[in-house]
């Protein structure tokens, strides 16, 4: 731990420093590549794997099944609806999950009974989930409305709080970056997109902005305190702030990701924990990407947005000129 | 704040406030448990408790919206229906402007399900023709052949305009053919959307009789009450037969009087009127007397169950809007408790990992984090238990996910705060002033960042539906509690701890050791290089620093003796 504290000290004083702002070309290139990969992944995989909540359909989960013979399920479904498309997955020791395409509510209830008989369980041990096709689109529509309103509100509030809309703009771009990459990883994992996953994505938006605000607040503090005779250029001040909050960023992302990772690992092995698992995958990826994106995309982008402002340009020029003079004096000596 | 207030005083005051809040919430909950029917265990939602959730969507012909009033009316009708079937604690709520969510504990049997979903309009139509349900005839080849569907060329307009709803002239050749071809199994309920002023073909709900019915004469909405009971003779003695008692409102009474006066004594089957629900005939009693006072009695082969079912259908049958089953979700109680268990176990494991990591990072200071988390957990539990009692809030799986995620968010407040204190220590401040100065900076960051979080939660809660709401709710509650705990517990604790020798002397285990933090006062973010560093390194870095100095700084540095070097920010 001592070395980690030392690491924090060095970052704070600037003795050790990662050039997040200065090397932004490199970071932006990496970010662009990640975004492109994230967009290509779902395209190459033939779209997202939407859950029945979005496509419509019926899902049955049987716990404590006497047998895990998959054909029993297909036969039980075919008994009621001969031409239904059935997908059967065995979960854990004695869990069976059956998904079918769109059925009527009545058929779904009938199949519950035939499945219970086939696997030797009570009707009450069969979980059914029947979803009409419009349910998912309703949820999506509302989520998107919520998203847009949230983004507009946060843009305004952040602009007011930081006294510059450029921070808001940088934060929103960071957010978009987080969302795209998280979706890309989600698509690559092949997990189904369920309402639970959507909850996860929405939370990630909140987390990403939260993380950005914490780091940007330090940037505000540093650049605000820089007086006329500051020895640092604007970009250097921004970079110092990011470095000074780096230990916090690492600690926070670890602490936030640990409980989520616990859900992810445990939820994957148990029937019925899908809600938790879907939320946690999007959260786990999102937390890590949000921390990355704030540091490597948000902060450099903010410096880029501001560096051409006349006042900042003037100050930077003065700092650099002074540095140059100092060098020459040194050379003359 | 009084001018004499010191950090210690402020801290004691904050902590007393915290004690008061916890005590007050606890008192409310205990009071609720003793006298108000609250429980110590927070109320659980269906996905944890097990049960059936049915989501109904209002069917609207075009894009026109359903009014909130209509939806509320529908909710109260459905609630009555579900409760009438003996289900306790069913929850019926509206969702998102056009959906109704029905949550029933346990497994919903077909009967309950039907009650909920048979949301059709109820109406009374006179019977014109009644007959066998068959839609086939034996053709010339001796084989059964289905009747053909009615030909479009067959006249569908009555030849003479009908005088009343029982008039035979309603039966056009087209309707006759439709009647013959009507398949009771396949086309059941198809007449549900037929216009009220036209005759329809419909079947008895068990598919045993097929009817041609005249236009609607009384609408179900005019039924003011319906109940099942024992039939009585005129002398008041019970007949031992189950009957359904019906009562109409003013308009209904008048219309029903007209119907019964026309039907009573008419030739069978035209003395029958059909009670049509969802395009199906649920009952087609014979009119045996003219009912002029709006109080009718339906008798027949009823059992207690069937008479009650019919009474309920009559009473609650008329919904203002039609609903379709949008989604239905049945969760067994065993799976529900398994999910709760998984949620709690993962939450605990996550918490444990966080505790280990914080202790590793912040040594004994980590205990402040742990205690803060415990306080936050207690407050969250109390709030959720009280909300479950007062507001009917139920903890769902998504809500638990929100709680687990909140662990990370909450601990972050402490991390931000501790790191700021460390920064101040690095600047060479004493612990007490570092705590105050660090708090000032940290508080601003925490407030603004948590503000964004709360905003996200509120927007999600207001605009989203179902699961998302439960999640947003716990996220919002924990955000508020998180800020509260930082302000009235964590900060005061540090104010007090800063007084203790263990922390103020910077014990290596305190996590706030100024030596380990490399602090010597040099002004903000300017440091003397730690003594332990190699001489050569100092020389090189001082040279580097000199290069970076402005003229003013150089002069200043020259004026102060050249003993120590300024180590400025260095680019890599």
Q: Are residues A111 and A148 located together in one domain of the fold? A: no
Q: φ and ψ at B547, to 5 degrees?
A: -60, -35
Q: Are residues A189 and A224 located together in one domain of the fold? A: yes
| B484 dihedral zone (left: phi>0; alpha: psi -120 to 50; beta) | alpha
Q: Are residues A181 and A291 located together in one domain of the fold? A: yes
Letter string b/e over residues B413-430, b meaning 16 or more CB atoms within 10 A of that residue's CB = bbbbbbbbbbbbbbbbbe
Quote the number of domains for chain B.
3
Looking at A66, A100, A131, which one is the last position of a domain? A131
Q: For residue range A213-245, list pLDDT tens digits in order.
A: 989 998 998 888 776 667 788 888 898 889 888
pLDDT of residue B563: 42
State the nearest Cα–Cα gap between A179 and chain B, in angstroms: 15
Exposure on the CB side of residue B36, measured as CA atoms within 13 A:
16
Question: Does the pLDDT at position B492 exceed 80?
Answer: yes
Q: Are residues A111 and A179 located together in one domain of the fold? A: no
ipTM of the complex: 0.81
Q: Are residues B166 and B216 located together in one domain of the fold? A: yes
pLDDT of residue A42: 85
Q: Are residues B376 and B409 located together in one domain of the fold? A: yes
Let me know if residue A232 belongs to a domain.
Answer: yes
Question: Does the pLDDT at position B567 exceed 60?
Answer: no
Let me know if residue A107 belongs to a domain.
Answer: yes
Q: Check residue B108 and report its DSSP letter.
A: P
Q: Report yes or no: B237 at the A interface, CB cutoff 8 Å.
A: no
For B124, the token pair is 């009374």
- Round the average pLDDT of chain B to a whole number and report it: 76
CA distance A314 to A320: 10
Distant-in-sequence, close-in-space partners of B338: CB < 8 Å, separation ≥ 6: A63, A270, A271, A272
Looking at B117, B146, B175, which one is the last position of a domain? B117
Q: For residue range A264-304, list pLDDT tens digits in order.
A: 887 666 655 666 777 788 889 999 999 999 999 999 999 99
For B224, the token pair is 């003011």
State the nearest Cα–Cα gap between A173 and chain B, in angstroms: 16
Among A34, A38, A33, which residue's Cα sits nearest to residue A48? A38
Q: Report yes or no: A3 at the B interface, CB cutoff 8 Å.
A: no
The dihedral formed by the CA atoms of B227, B230, B231 and B236, expressed in degrees to the nearest 10: -110
- Round the average pLDDT of chain A to a whole number and report it: 82
Q: For residue range B302-325, list pLDDT tens digits in order.
A: 788 778 777 777 776 655 566 777
Among A110, A146, A148, A150, which residue's Cα sits nearest to residue A130? A110
User: For the domain that residue B481 is a member of, what is the CATH number?
Assistant: 1.20.1640.10
Q: Are residues B30 and B58 located together in one domain of the fold? A: no
Q: What percent of chain B has pLDDT over 70?
A: 75
Q: Are residues A119 and A239 located together in one domain of the fold? A: no
> pLDDT category, B515, cuts 50, 70, 90?
low
Question: Does the pLDDT at position B527 exceed 50?
Answer: no
Quote the number of domains for chain A.
2
Q: Report yes or no: A137 at the B interface, CB cutoff 8 Å.
A: no
> H or E stretch including A331?
helix A310-332
Let me know if residue B190 belongs to a domain.
Answer: yes
pLDDT of residue A61: 80
* Probe site for chain A from B47, B412, B513, B538 (most A CB atoms < 10 A): B412
pLDDT of residue A168: 92
Q: Are residues B406 and B490 located together in one domain of the fold? A: yes
Give the DSSP per-residue string, B464-527: --HHHHHHHHHHHHHHHHHHHHIIIIIHHHHHHHTTSHHHHTT-GGGS--TTTTT---SSTT-B
Let me know if residue A187 belongs to a domain.
Answer: yes
- Per the CB < 8 Å rule, is B567 touching A323? no
Restricting to B residues 520-539, those with a Cβ less than 8 Å away from any Cβ of A are 524-527
Nearest CA in chain A to B328: A130
Looking at B493, B510, B527, which one is the last position of a domain? B510
Let me know if residue B415 belongs to a domain.
Answer: yes
CA distance B542 to B526: 12
Looking at A131, A154, A174, which one is the last position of a domain? A131
Q: Are residues B109 and B129 located together in one domain of the fold? A: no
> pLDDT category, B553, cuts 50, 70, 90?
low
Q: Are residues B168 and B315 located together in one domain of the fold? A: yes
Q: Check residue A298 and report its DSSP letter.
A: I
For residue A246, what are the domain limits? 19-50+135-329
pLDDT of residue B87: 59
User: For the domain that residue A222 is a member of, what is the CATH number?
Assistant: 1.20.1640.10
Q: For residue range B8-49, list pLDDT tens digits in order.
A: 888 888 899 999 999 999 999 999 888 887 788 888 877 777
**pTM of the predicted structure, to 2 decimals:** 0.67
Restricting to A residues 28-47, those with a Cβ less than 8 Å away from any Cβ of B are none
- Per the CB < 8 Å rule, is B361 touching A1? yes
pLDDT of residue B540: 45
Q: Are residues A182 and A36 located together in one domain of the fold? A: yes
Q: For residue range B529-546, list pLDDT tens digits in order.
A: 444 434 444 444 444 444
Out of A202-216, A307-321, B496-510, which region has the weakest mean confidence (pLDDT)?
Answer: B496-510
Question: Does the pLDDT at position B183 exceed 60?
Answer: yes
pLDDT of residue A291: 92
- Per the CB < 8 Å rule, is B456 touching A283? no
pLDDT of residue A274: 67
Crossing angle between the packed helical segments A195-225 and B466-485, to the nearest 10 degrees: 30
Out of A180-189, B62-71, B73-82, which region has the weakest mean confidence (pLDDT)?
Answer: B62-71
Let me know if residue A10 belongs to a domain.
Answer: no
Q: Are residues B180 and B281 located together in one domain of the fold? A: yes
- Per the CB < 8 Å rule, is B353 touching A259? yes
Q: Report yes or no: B338 at the A interface, CB cutoff 8 Å.
A: yes
Q: Are residues A80 and A184 located together in one domain of the fold? A: no
> pLDDT category, A30, cuts 50, 70, 90?
very high
Q: Report yes or no: A96 at the B interface, CB cutoff 8 Å.
A: no
Restricting to B residues 115-134, those with a Cβ less than 8 Å away from any Cβ of A are 117
Looking at A90, A105, A131, which one is the last position of a domain? A131
Q: Report yes or no: B354 at the A interface, CB cutoff 8 Å.
A: yes
User: For the domain that residue B58 is a member of, what is the CATH number?
Assistant: 3.30.70.3400
Q: Are residues A174 and A273 located together in one domain of the fold? A: yes
State the nearest Cα–Cα gap between A306 and chain B, in angstroms: 20
Nearest CA in chain B to A280: B401
User: For the domain that residue A115 is a member of, what is the CATH number?
Assistant: 3.30.70.260
For residue B58, what are the domain limits? 51-117
Nearest CA in chain B to A157: B452
More confident residue, A327 or B315: A327
Q: Report yes or no: B421 at the A interface, CB cutoff 8 Å.
A: no
């Amino acid at each position: 731990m001592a070395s980690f504290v030392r690491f924090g000290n060095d970052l704070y004083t600037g003795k050790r420093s990662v050039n997040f702002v200065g090397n932004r070309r490199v970071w932006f290139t990496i970010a662009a590549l990640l975004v492109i990969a994230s967009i290509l992944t779902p395209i190459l995989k033939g779209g997202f794997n939407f859950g029945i909540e979005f496509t419509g359909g019926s899902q049955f989960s049987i716990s404590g099944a006497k047998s895990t013979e998959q054909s029993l399920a297909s036969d039980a479904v075919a008994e009621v609806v001969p031409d239904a498309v059935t997908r059967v997955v065995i979960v854990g020791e004695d869990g069976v999950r059956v998904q079918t395409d769109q059925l009527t509510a009545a058929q779904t209830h009938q199949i519950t009974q035939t499945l219970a008989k086939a696997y030797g369980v009570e009707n009450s041990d069969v979980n059914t989930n029947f979803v009409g096709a419009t349910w998912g689109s309703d949820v999506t529509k509302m989520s998107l409305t919520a998203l847009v309103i949230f983004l507009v509100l946060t843009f305004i509030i952040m602009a007011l709080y930081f006294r510059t809309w450029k921070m808001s703009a940088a934060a929103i771009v960071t957010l978009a970056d987080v969302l795209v990459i998280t979706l890309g990883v989600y698509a690559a994992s092949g997990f189904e997109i369920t309402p639970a996953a959507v909850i996860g994505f929405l939370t990630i938006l909140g987390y990403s902005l939260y993380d950005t605000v914490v780091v940007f607040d330090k940037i505000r503090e540093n650049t605000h305190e820089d007086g006329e005779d500051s020895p640092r250029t604007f970009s250097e001040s921004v970079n110092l702030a990011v470095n000074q909050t780096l230990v916090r960023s690492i600690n926070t992302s670890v602490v936030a990701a640990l409980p989520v990772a616990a859900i992810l690992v445990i939820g994957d092995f148990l029937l019925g924990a899908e809600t938790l698992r879907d939320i946690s995958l999007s959260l786990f990826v999102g937390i890590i990407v949000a921390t990355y994106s704030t540091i490597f995309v948000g902060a450099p982008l903010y410096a880029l947005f501001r560096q051409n402002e006349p006042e900042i340009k003037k100050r930077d020029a003065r700092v650099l000129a002074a540095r140059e003079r100092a060098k020459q004096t040194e050379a003359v000596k | 704040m009084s001018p004499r207030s010191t950090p210690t005083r402020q801290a004691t005051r904050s902590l007393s406030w915290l004690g008061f809040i916890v005590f007050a919430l606890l008192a409310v909950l205990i009071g609720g448990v003793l006298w108000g029917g609250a429980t110590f265990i927070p109320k659980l939602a269906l996905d944890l408790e097990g049960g059936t959730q049915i989501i109904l969507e209002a069917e609207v012909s075009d894009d026109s919206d359903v009014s909130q009033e209509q939806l509320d009316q529908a909710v109260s009708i459905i609630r009555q229906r579900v409760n009438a079937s003996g289900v306790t604690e069913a929850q019926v709520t509206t969702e998102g402007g056009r959906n109704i969510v029905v949550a029933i504990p346990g497994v919903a049997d077909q009967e309950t399900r039907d009650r909920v979903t048979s949301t059709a309009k109820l109406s009374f139509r006179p019977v014109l023709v009644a007959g066998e349900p068959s839609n086939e005839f034996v053709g010339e080849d001796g084989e059964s052949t289905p009747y053909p569907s009615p030909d479009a060329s067959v006249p569908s307009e009555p030849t003479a305009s009908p005088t009343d709803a029982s008039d035979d002239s309603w039966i056009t050749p087209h309707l006759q053919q439709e009647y013959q071809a009507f398949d009771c199994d396949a086309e059941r309920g198809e007449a549900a959307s037929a216009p009220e002023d036209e005759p329809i073909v419909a079947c008895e709900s068990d598919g045993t009789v097929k009817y041609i019915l005249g236009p609607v004469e009384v609408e179900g909405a005019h039924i003011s009450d319906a109940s099942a009971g024992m039939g009585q003779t005129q002398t008041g003695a019970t007949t031992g037969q189950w009957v359904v008692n019906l009562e109409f409102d003013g308009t209904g009474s008048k219309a029903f009087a007209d119907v019964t006066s026309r039907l009573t004594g008419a030739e069978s089957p035209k003395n029958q009127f059909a009670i049509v629900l969802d395009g199906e005939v649920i009952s087609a009693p014979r009119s045996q007397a003219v009912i002029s006072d709006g109080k009718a009695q339906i008798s027949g082969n009823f059992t207690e169950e069937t008479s009650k079912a019919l009474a309920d259908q009559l009473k609650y049958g008329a919904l203002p809007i039609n609903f379709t089953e949008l989604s239905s979700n049945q969760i067994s109680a065993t799976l529900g408790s398994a999910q709760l268990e998984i949620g709690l176990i993962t939450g605990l494991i996550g918490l444990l990992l966080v505790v280990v990591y914080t202790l590793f990072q912040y040594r004994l200071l980590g205990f402040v984090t742990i205690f803060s988390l415990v306080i936050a957990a207690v407050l969250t539990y109390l709030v959720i238990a009280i909300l479950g009692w007062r507001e009917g809030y139920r903890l769902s799986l998504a809500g638990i996910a929100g709680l687990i995620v909140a662990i990370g968010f909450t601990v972050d407040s402490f991390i931000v705060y501790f790191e700021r204190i460390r920064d101040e220590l690095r600047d060479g401040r004493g612990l007490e002033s570092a705590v105050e100065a660090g708090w000032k900076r940290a508080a601003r960051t925490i407030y603004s960042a948590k503000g964004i979080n709360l905003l996200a939660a509120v927007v999600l809660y207001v605009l989203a539906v179902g699961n998302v709401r439960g999640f947003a709710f716990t996220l919002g509650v924990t955000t508020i509690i998180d800020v509260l705990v930082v302000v009235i517990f964590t900060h005061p604790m540090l104010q007090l701890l800063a007084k203790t020798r263990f922390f103020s002397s910077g014990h290596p285990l305190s996590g706030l050791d100024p030596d380990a933090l490399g602090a010597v006062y040099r002004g903000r973010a300017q440091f003397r290089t730690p003594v332990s560093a190699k001489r050569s390194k100092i020389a090189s870095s001082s040279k580097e620093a000199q290069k970076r100095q402005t003229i003013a700084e150089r002069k200043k540095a020259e004026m102060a003796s050249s003993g120590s070097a300024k180590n400025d920010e260095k680019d890599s």
